[in-house]
């Protein structure tokens, strides 16, 4: 049995103008989702910019490490007018070395051009 309180049932049909109604929780979720998406896009764009900066140096010269030779020696020979610390860091990055001490005699290294 169906009980009716307060008169006749409503015959109003929902219209497009009513639209979607979000609860407070829904609005918060939508806002947080938009902020998270914006953060991800900003980080992604930042990584793309830093990747372009690290690719400024083009390896055009290759050197073979001699016995007893260090990256410092190679850096000062390759770019005597630059700070050897920066050149060593560029050589490490360019050759994907774990650190500056991880070279061995006979190893071929790419050198950055400036």
* Domains in the chain, number: 2
Give the CATH number of the domain where residue 63 resides.
3.10.350.10
The answer to whether residues 34 and 76 belong to one domain is no
Point out the least confidently predicted range of 7-16, 38-47, 56-65. Answer: 7-16
Residue 42 located in a structural domain? yes
Is the pLDDT confidence value at 29 over 90? yes
Residues 6+ apart with CB under 8 A from 93: 54
Give the model confidence (pLDDT) of 48-91 as tens digits: 666 555 555 565 799 999 999 999 999 999 999 999 999 999 99
The answer to whether residues 71 and 98 belong to one domain is yes
Label residues 37-71 b or e (16+ Cβ within 10 Å = b).
eeeeeeeeeeeeeeeeeeeebeeeeeeebeeeeeb
Query: Which of 65, 66, 88, 64 is CA-nearest to residue 75?
Result: 88
Is the pLDDT confidence value at 18 over 90? no
Residue 16 located in a structural domain? no
Owning domain of residue 65: 57-112
Is residue 112 within 8 A of residue 59, CB to CB? The reply is: yes
């Amino acid at each position: 049995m169906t009980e009716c309180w307060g008169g006749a049932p409503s015959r109003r049909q929902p219209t497009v103008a009513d639209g979607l109604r979000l609860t407070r929780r829904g609005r918060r979720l939508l806002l947080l989702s938009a902020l998270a998406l914006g953060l991800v896009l900003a980080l992604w764009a930042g990584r793309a910019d830093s990747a372009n900066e690290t690719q400024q140096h083009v390896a055009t010269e290759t050197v073979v490490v001699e016995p007893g030779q260090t990256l410092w020696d190679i850096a000062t020979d390759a770019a005597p007018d630059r700070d050897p610390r920066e050149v060593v860091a560029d050589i490490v990055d360019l050759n994907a070395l774990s650190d500056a001490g991880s070279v061995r005699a006979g190893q071929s290294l790419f050198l950055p051009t400036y």
